[in-house]
Amino acid sequence: MEQDAYLHSLLATPSKEIEQLEHEARKQGVPIMEPLGIDFLMQLIRLNKPQTILEIGTAIGYSALRMLEAAPNSSITTMERDTERYQQAVENIDKFQAKQHINILYGDALELKDQVSQAAPFDLIFIDAAKGKYEEFFHLYAPFLSESGMIVSDNVLFKGYVADEGDATGRMAKLASKIRNFNQWLVSQENYHTSIVPIGDGIAITVKNHKK
């Protein structure tokens, strides 16, 4: 799209170290946030200045490092279940000298609630893991959200398949259906306000409804 190309042309150039990390992710086929999506997330963080962040889905540590870049004094707890990616994340966070700010937990996010609770509450919860389990992640970790905090869910438009399911087949169609159901469920929650922003691969921003 011409509009996306134009917006990409306005993005600030990241550091050489971040560019190298992006290159390695592309080379290995590791999914990381799209440039416009990560730029938007970082701006949200600059505006809200979260002190504590929970990330569900570390991958190789890219998003955690970018979030720390936007909030240098924050404390980030992040989880990864894939052994190889976990090891890469440990190495990358060490390379960026960010170990004092980023704590990586190894294991399935659905099984780490007790460990995560030790760092709660969180001013920001970022969901970017198994797409078919977003609702489970939300149920499990939303109680750890601070009163003025927000939950950000990535990939909620899922390559456009959520809005136009006709192009999706097989596994992609099933995932698109699950994300569509999650979106519908999320916006219907009376205890929260949610807006979905069509940037990157689609980002849902959720905050508590204090009138309830």
Known binding residue 48? Answer is no
- In sequence order, the 6+-apart residues with CB closer than 8 A to the CB of 120 are 52, 54, 144
**Residue 109 counted as an annotated binding residue:** yes
167 labelled binding-site residue: no
**Six token digits for residue 207:** 């905050």
For residue 3, the tally of other CB atoms under 10 A from its CB is 7
Q: Is 188 flagged in the annotation as binding?
A: no
Q: Are 35 and 8 in contact (CB under 8 A)?
A: yes
Pick the closest to residue 162 from 150, 176, 173 (CA basis).
Answer: 176
Is 203:128 a contact under the CB 8 Å cutoff?
Answer: no
* The residue to which tokens 């399935």 are assigned: 108
Residue 154 annotated as binding site: yes
| 80 labelled ligand-binding | yes
List Cβ neighbours of 134 (8 Å cut-off, separation of 6 or more).
Answer: 127, 153, 156, 178, 179, 182
**Binding site for S-adenosyl-L-methionine: what residues are annotated?**
33, 63, 80, 108-109, 128
Residues marked as binding? Answer: 33, 63, 80, 108-109, 128, 154-155
Residues in the annotated binding site for Mg(2+): 128, 154-155
